[in-house]
Amino acid sequence: MNYDHHYHAGNAADCIKHLALSLTLQALIRKDTPLAYIDTHAGAGRYTLSAQGEHLQGVARLWADRRSLPHAGAWLKIISNENSDGVLRYYPGSPVLAAALLRPADRMVLCEQQPEVATRLRKAMGKRAHTSIIGEDGYRALFGLIPPPEKRGLILIDPPFERRDEWERLADTLIRAYQRWPQGVYLVWYPVKIRGTITRLRQALRERLPAFACELLQMPEEGREQLFGSGLIMVNPPWGLREALTAALTELGPLLCAPQSGGLWSLHCQGWPGPEKS
């Protein structure tokens, strides 16, 4: 694998996906009943930030203003707790972030296929109860985990997008998972890089399931084929999540825009109802 999350940890993409994750979990735990959290590409859980890492274009830009960004407050508070002396050295990945928000009775299932990364993940999660770490391909493992006995919960799908067939596999997995568990909440991150690929993904999903999508672009698109933003797809978003996410991303947009953008950034959100029922 070429993807080195220690270098990428805390970058703008992480900020966007982890902000969305925190807002989704905050919405879900408003109900008293337990839930299941399933992470198909969990990673190491916690990262030491490198001196020249991509966090300099991500969470580091938010750090000085962390107490004055109310819509991102809960997520930034968790990062602050990981850096109690006020110096930004550590970044919590999705498993550690989720563990900080979930209640003790909520169950976590974390999929991490790389043995050395899974070892670090076990260390990061410590002795948290009701937590399973599965050393398997998350796409395949997912279908043995849903529907969960709790009957409610969140699935995070955040692949590294290294495989040539990643987009097709993502679409197929999400469609089949929704067919198996249509009541579940699904959160997907994808890179905004090649518009045609994204259009095909959305079209495939539009014909099979209802969803809501947001893209935060850190620079004007202008037909370029480089990473210029992050996209999120949410299936069955909890009540109020759309508005909360839009407000939070609007707050972060000016801080995360690329230096070469001249301060230009944009947020695009769109929902669709799914296939028409005959």
Give the catalytic positions in this structure. Answer: 158
Strand blocks (E) in 127-227: 131-134, 153-157, 185-192, 211-217
Residues 6+ apart with CB under 8 A from 168: none
Residue 19 — left, alpha, or beta (φ > 0 → left; ψ -120 to 50 → alpha)? alpha
Give the pairing type, strands 211-217 and 229-235: antiparallel
Question: What is the rounded CA–CA span in Å between residue 29 and residue 145?
Answer: 20
Question: What is the rounded CA–CA span in Å between residue 157 and residue 42?
Answer: 9
DSSP 3-state assignment of 41? coil
